[in-house]
Amino acid sequence: MRTDTIAAIATGLTDSGIGIVRISGPDAFDVIGRIFIKKSGAPADVTRSHTVQYGFICADGEIIDEVLVMIMKGPHSYTGEDTAEIDCHGGILVMRKILEAALKNGARAADPGEFTKRAFLNGRIDLSQAEAVIDVINAKNDYALKNSMKQLSGKESEKIRKLREKILYEIAYIESALDDPEHISLDGYRGNLSNTLNEITDQVRKLIDSADYGRIISEGVRTVIVGKPNAGKSSLLNALLGEDRAIVTEIAGTTRDTLEEQVRFGDISLRIVDTAGIRNTDDIVEKIGVDRARDAAADADLIICMIDSSVPLDENDYEIMDMIQGRKAIVLLNKSDLPAAVDILSLAGMEKLAGQKLIAVSVKEETGFDELKETIQDMFCRGNIHFNDEILITNLRHKEALHKALASLEMVKDSIRSGLPEDFFSIDLTDAYTQLGSIIGEAVEDDVVNEIFSRFCMGK
């Protein structure tokens, strides 16, 4: 671990009302003492922690900015080290000049995520909490923010630690019994261990099963709009975005490739993908777009099927209905402002659309949108996602570790059923213990840690 003093701009590099320059490390107070003077002309007072002082940042005998400086002594700071934070005016030039002054007076430019990495290495937070920091920053909806804050507060870590404690007890019991069989008996132990393993594996599976909803709230509902050409797919995307993002013309086949945008619907967000109109075509470029539309639909959490209700159904419509059969989908009968050639009641009775929600809309008049939004909320929020004591796994690394831990626990079960010696149990229990530990940063390799923090923004 590097123990030098680091500095970085902790706010966005854009003009704003306030900017923050953070300095952390063993020489943080020496650095701030060289570049800051109080309004009275006195140097910074670093004897008291968690104080705010008013004055000026100076370099080469000139005042750079009028600032507030916060002094926080380690270990009671974000990084666990001595830390000084400079609240300055939020101009890009001002912030850069203050950072340059800190770098010239003993600090080093921080790497991306290095402040949070030091918090982890100094034991202020564990690895899952550190990853939650970037999730809070990147949260795109209320659910994602709430779940990230729950992870940051240690709810996931607490759950993982309890599972590890149960596994560690069994490892210790087996090892003790093998070392001292005269005083610690393994009679009847296999049955007790099986019951404990059933409890642990049930909890691990529950965490793994939560990952699908965790991904949805973290990344957004991957929503793909499909339909034949000129059904109104691109117009729907533009209407939901409130801007002309997709090109709309009277010419069939205008959209040749997928186009993805983010839209917030209440407490969740949608990653909406507009696709090429699905139809049989001899145009090579358009055919590629149609294939990509089918591929996008295959990977979607939600499919919005657009049907032009002003013209009779054709073979392209029926092909699209086959695509969405049995999938989580909403069928929109667009152009409801025009005379209807397709009856919503007749569609509702079709076997291909059994269980699908049908909504009459007019993208042009923007009618039916409230029902569409309410339907999506019902499908992905109400009754499915709760924020009481439930933990949702949103991190792919955590999900993979849980899968590996589960596999090791299942191997212990197999060993019990096969009548293998108890020392075989200990080997796989230890592996499960290690895999769960990797989630919170215990026994995790340095390259994994470096990869995680490299994804952080500068200054965090």
User: Does 159 lie in the same domain as 43?
Assistant: no
Shared domain for 359 and 237, answered yes or no, is yes
Nearest in space to 281 (alpha carbons), one of 263, 298, 256: 256
User: What pLDDT, on the 0 to 100 scale, is given for residue 23?
Assistant: 97
Is 193 found in the same domain as 46? no
- What's the CATH code of the domain at 171? 1.20.120.430
Looking at the fold, whether 197 and 225 belong to one and the same domain comes out as: no
What pLDDT was estimated at residue 444? 66
Rounded CA-CA distance 301/246 in Å is 22
Domain range for 12 is: 6-126
- How high is the pLDDT of residue 244? 54
Burial of 168 (0-12, 13-18, 19+ CB in 10 A): middle
**Within this chain, do residues 177 and 318 fall inside the same structural domain, yes or no?**
no
pTM, to two decimals: 0.71
> How much is the pLDDT for 385?
43
What is the structure's pLDDT at 255? 46
* The last residue of a domain, from among 92, 126, 160: 126
Identify whether the C-beta of residue 90 lies closer than 8 Å to the C-beta of residue 10: no
3-state secondary structure of 288: helix
CA nearest neighbour of 105 among 160, 29, 52, 44: 29
In a domain, 361, yes or no: yes
Whether residue 176 sits in one domain with residue 150: yes
Average pLDDT across each block of 10 residues of the chain; the chain has 460 residues. List them in order.
86 89 96 95 91 95 95 94 96 95 95 92 89 80 76 88 93 87 84 94 92 75 84 82 53 51 76 74 67 79 87 85 86 86 79 83 87 83 51 86 96 93 90 94 74 74
pLDDT at residue 409 in the model: 96
Peptide bond into 26 cis (omega under 30): no
Q: Is residue 69 part of a domain?
A: yes
Please check whether residue 458 lies inside any domain of the structure.
Answer: no
Q: Are residues 230 and 295 in the same domain?
A: yes
Helix (H) or strand (E) holding 452: helix 446-454
| Residues 43 and 187 both lie in one domain | no
**Cα atoms in the 13 Å half-sphere on the side-chain side of 339:** 0
Please tell me whether residues 245 and 362 are part of one structural domain.
yes
Please tell me the predicted confidence (pLDDT) of residue 399: 92
337 & 407 share domain: no
The CATH number of the domain holding residue 58 is 3.30.1360.120
What is d(CA 252, CA 229) in angstroms, rounded to the nearest whole number? 5
pLDDT on residue 178: 84
- Residue 342 and residue 403 in one domain: no
Q: Do 259 and 237 contact (CB within 8 A), yes or no?
A: yes
Structural domains counted in the chain: 3
C-alpha to C-alpha distance for 306 and 246, rounded to whole angstroms: 16
